[in-house]
Amino acid sequence: MERSDILSPRIKSMRKFDVHYAWIYLTERCNLNCEYCYFQHRQGRDASPEAVQRFFQLLDKERAVPSTLIVSGGEVFLAQDMLWNVLEKARRHVPNTRLHVQTNGTLIDAGSVERLRRLAVSLEFGIDGGCEQTIRRRRGMTPEIFQRLTANIRMCVESGIPCSCTMAVHPEDIKYMSESIDFLCQLGLSRVDVTPAAFMPWTRESIRHFKKTYLSLVRQTRFRNVFYMRDDADWIAPGTMDLSLHPPGYLLAGDPFLCLAEKQRAEFSLWDAAGGFVKPEILSFYQDAYYHMYNEKDRVPYRAYVCRSFDVVNMMMGQEYLNNREMNLMMRFLTRVHTALNFRTPGEGNEVRVAG
């Protein structure tokens, strides 16, 4: 597919290089194989040290300061030497940026906890509720490994590390959402990002069920401060982008591009893999692709940017690769719910009104 076929006819060039979130995917290796994993095209590679160094040099050159730098994988604790190197570099290059690590939590030990605490890193675990719900979709997880995961979460929480989790919800598991969140809260997790599982068979009926269940839970006082709503409190201005570094050295415009196949990853990488310089035509492509969602507005909710990323990924792949119609319906619903809650003032009642 030609890039000109993807671009909106409404184009306004924007050259301000401003970054909201940044991801560094250290490795394609993982000790699990979750059925809804966004990283669909893994070849067992790690990000090259040269690519990581160029990434930080780019941030320095553009004076770009991400609000959050997220280190992820694969499973980051399979690449521990690189993990500590990246976190130390980040503390030097972007000292005011929040550092966050995504992990399945099965390989953490006491020594790792102490280093994470010293570097003031927050953790996000992949866990979908109790043992049965989690091992059903996260292939390779066993009851014994799950027990180790929950013990590691408690160890991290007790050490004072800020800990949250991503709780992926399969259409068949909507009925377990309440008990799953209860279980996660009992582990001491302060935030739970309830997210519809990608690539799964979502139907109109299951989408309605998800929305109804989510609304009933978010209206409960005991869960009000548990649901993860950070993204929907963030409003981004035109020209702002996410960045994500992928193994061995591709640089793309955000988290959803993890789904891309190798051919598209190489074509749409923001920089030349050999020379390490930003390709102006690709930078223009991304900026133009996002422009239309602003219209005359000065800014948009962050999750609207993510929804647009799903659309761009599908256009790149030339198919309904991410079942993005269904995913976008649910993501936009979550945006409306969280925006309504974020704009509430202390002392208001518990009623949350959301259209659609």
Each of the 356 residues of the chain gets a pLDDT tens digit; together they read 444 444 444 444 445 678 999 999 999 999 999 988 888 788 889 999 999 999 999 899 888 899 999 999 999 999 999 999 999 999 999 999 999 999 999 999 999 999 999 999 999 999 999 999 999 999 999 999 999 999 999 999 999 999 999 999 999 999 999 999 999 999 999 899 999 998 899 999 999 999 999 999 988 888 877 887 666 668 888 878 899 999 999 999 988 898 898 999 999 999 876 666 788 889 888 888 887 777 767 788 888 888 888 888 888 887 667 676 788 888 889 888 887 776 543 334 444 445 45
Cβ–Cβ < 8 Å for 127, 184 = yes
Rounded distance between C-alpha atoms, residue 14 and residue 16, angstroms? 6
The pLDDT value given to residue 280:
86
Give the CATH class of 1-342: alpha beta
Distance separating alpha carbons of residues 210 and 225, to the nearest angstrom: 20
Nearest to 69 by CA among 100, 26, 115, 102: 100
Beta strands 98-103 and 68-72 are parallel
d(CA 245, CA 100): 15
Q: What's the rounded Cα separation, in Å, for the pair 286 and 355?
A: 31
Is the bond preceding residue 248 a cis peptide, omega within 30 degrees?
yes
Tokens of 317: 């792949």
The pLDDT score that the predictor gives to residue 153 is 98
The token pair that represents 112 in the structure block: 């790792």
The pLDDT of residue 307 is 82
The residue type of 331 is M
User: Exposed/middle/buried for 123, CB within 10 Å: 0-12, 13-18, 19+?
Assistant: buried
User: At which residue do the structure tokens 């709503």 appear?
Assistant: 229
Instruction: Please give the angle made by the CA atoms of 347, 349 and 350, to the nearest 5 degrees.
Output: 125
Contacts of 134 (CB under 8 A, 6+ apart): 127, 128, 141, 146, 149
Closest CA to 80 of 52, 118, 42, 107: 107
Instruction: Say how far apart CA 174 and CA 297 lie, in whole Å.
Output: 35
pTM above 0.85, yes or no: yes
3-state secondary structure the chain: CCHHHHCCCCCCCCCCCEEEEEEEECECCCCCEECCCCCCCCCCCECCHHHHHHHHHHHHHHCCCCCEEEEECCCHHHCHHHHHHHHHHHHHHCCCCEEEEEECCCCCCHHHHHHHHHCCEEEEEECCCCHHHHHHHEECCCHHHHHHHHHHHHHHHHCCCCEEEEEEECHHHHHHHHHHHHHHHHCCCCEEEEEECCCCCCCHHHHHHHHHHHHHHHCCHHHCCCECCHHHHCEECCCEEEEEEECCCEEECCHHHHHCCHHHHHHCCCECCCCCCECHHHHHHHHHHHHCCCCCCCCEEHHHHHHHHHHHHHHHHCCCCCCHHHHHHHHHHHHHHHHHHHCCCCCCCCCCCCCC
**Which pLDDT score, from 0 to 100, does residue 316 have?**
86
- Which sequence spans correspond to the domains of the chain? 1-342
Can you read off the two tokens belonging to residue 11?
């184009």
